[in-house]
A and B are shown apart, each in its own frame.
Chain A
């Protein structure tokens, strides 16, 4: 399934809804979206992951890079991440930098 992403931004919270396969071909598009969306005045980045079936290393690099550039104090939450995607994230150590939430939960 092809990769799709939508983004909403309100009161410093940037929410992405990702679906399909974020592979190395779709990564540049995601990179562009996320760098544009996150940089200005974001406080929290929420990714709705439930419909994302695959995340490539390239996709993760976009996420890690965007988080670094956003500066300190920007929290990342991943909601409803599938186990195989969570394992890819764990192998990069990036799980130490974010909060994994069950789908539907709202802290």
Chain B
């Protein structure tokens, strides 16, 4: 009885092989598994099919269309049997739209945790979706060999072939070997299968013997109105029973700037199966969990608020309003002399008078991004003035070396500003970290995309020369993380633990911070080459064959460094996700199997180790290795969740879903976005919280209560709004997207405005319409998404509409 509690789905149609079907049904039942038979019911309640040998009847009452992702993920295996089943099930009325059973199989191929078992002529079902078997080792009936080779699979002359999560069998006569292999694989995978929907007849109860409050997130599976009970299934597959009380309140999702939307009075209609809900409540020693606050993820079951067309656009507008008011009040134009890096929770300033380059740069990024999405000229003005301020106050023009570097910041107390040349942060003290130079470019580069200001272009180029001349490792490749402030050497002994080191920031952070945006703005090959150079190094050195977590720090010769400062042998969850996200973006520029494979590997591995499967959301920093007896990676400092790591997850899984059409990735993206929007938005003061506790309550102590600090400012929160809009509209949902540009009269030396919204897979998006100063403009190229600008003595306002070239993933 090795499969007790397991579930197996078998597809069925007329022309099935009776002996095979009888054997599989009995054999799996013997092992304790429950077997469901699925077919296309053609809107009937049930259909009775006949076998191919003796016309034995077989009645099926479950439609493949009723198997949603959650249910599909609950199956340990999906089996396509021998005979004519696959051929009949691949029939489709619309030849451009695969049959429902084909779509089910495609979704199952997107879930590694679901074994795919295909026997004999069952491979027919994969023929409309050959990408799922391309390059994979399979066997099949001799008559099918040419077909599977045409599908790109690697035919292997064996009775049964196992290729990871795909099991194939030669003919119906090998059903005993086929069943044995599947049973063994399910049993072997039992421990690692994170999503197990099959067990939950037993509702999990948490009871340590005292009361405590906690959050649970789950999909409604049942609502027992008479008993005020709701059953949920968590993302991790646990069943949880929630008791509703007379003081349980409920809320609809709420964006920044929205009023509180009470849902308490509609609970009965809202608690329908499939709906994702967050329940915060109290566990009692008797095992019951009484909810006090429910937050829904969408207005209706299957709907997610962040997928409303303008959700993120409204959010970035509200973020921009918050930061503008906090930093500059109502004054127009804004005066950056008033800017302060330290903002309290409510946006008011303290007596700390430092202006850090990177926080201004991040604010500029957010404001420029808000302009791109909303066309709000005030926000662009804030971005442009910030860029000017950086140029006037934070820039060190080094004529001897023909480079530019950026001060860490300035202290503006008193009548003269004091330059803070080297970093004031503990990690980087007394050095010039490449991290700060990179983020000095984040805002100016995003502004450059909009205006083409040649002065910004020159400063970016001079900073790139700084990287090339002083940070680059000519011997082993890549860039060093620090140089000393006097000789600008990565090898100077004053650097201490930062001497001759490399890390994620020095190798990979170029891409998200400025390099992809710079390539989008200029189209220059040298930037595409640098992206490939950096991510070839990521693909070569970051994966650890022995560990699910990436390596993040290195010596000059790429030997892993497990001794550095706080990092030791620890993993930052958000860095792993950021690598996956940016590998897929760089893959759009330079398609490479190594990028895509690593991104998918990270995407599939992370939920089990970095996510909170019970409450949703993503953790912070964990120990990479498990000590003896440990089953989960230990948190280094706490189990809080930081806003920027949620961003990485949302963007990584959106872009992975868009590239693979994998429903499991889309589910991760939705769950991550649901948690972020439910718990990180500060509806009272504006902006977003830095950290929340595991259960979603904001954590407001120490530096983490601030809103302007080096990582907060307006970068990650705005980048999320901008790119979740781009990916969500154009790739996931197949909706058009409007963007705004404001090329200066002297902007873009070649007078070509490049409006590709991100590094997106080739051919997925095209430019549809262009307006210049409100009038239609015809000089543009839809495929390259470039606009030939008219010569003008004035700045121009350009609004473009981008459209998807195919239907969305969803």
Contact = CB atoms under 8 A, between A and B. Distances in A.
Given A68-B422, A75-B416, A57 B399 contact: yes
Contacts of A93: 392-396, 407, 419
A91 B399 contact: yes
Interface string A52-71: 00001110011011011000
Interface of B: 392-401, 407, 410-411, 413-414, 416-422, 485-487
Contacts of B487: 27-28, 58
Q: Is the interface of A mostly helix, strand, loop or mixed?
A: helix
Given A57-B401, A68-B420, A68-B422, A62 B486 contact: yes
A70 to B, nearest CB: 9
Contact of A97 (B398, B413, B418, B486): B418
Contact of B422 (A62, A65, A75, A96): A65
Contacts of B395: 92-93
Nearest to A32: B486
Contact of A65 (B398, B411, B421): B421
Given A27-B486, A28-B486, A72-B414, A64 B401 contact: no
A97 B396 CA distance: 13
A92 B391 CA distance: 10
Given A62-B486, A93-B394, A56 B416 contact: no
Contact of B413 (A27, A72, A88, A96): A72
B424 to A, nearest CB: 9
A97 B400 contact: no
Nearest to B412: A96
B421 A96 contact: no
B486 A98 contact: no
Contact of A61 (B394, B420, B485): B485
A28 B392 CA distance: 28
A70 B416 CA distance: 15
B419 A94 contact: yes
Given A24-B400, A57-B398, A72-B413, A31 B418 contact: no
Nearest to A71: B418
B399 A88 contact: yes
A93 B396 CA distance: 7
9 contacts: A64-B396, A64-B419, A68-B418, A91-B399, A93-B392, A93-B419, A94-B396, A97-B418, A99-B416
Nearest to A56: B400
A56 B400 CA distance: 7
Contacts of A72: 411, 413-414, 418
Contacts of A68: 418-422
Contacts of B419: 64, 67-68, 93-94, 96-97
Nearest to B394: A93
A88 B411 CA distance: 22
Contacts of A64: 396, 419, 421
Nearest to B485: A65
B418 A92 contact: no
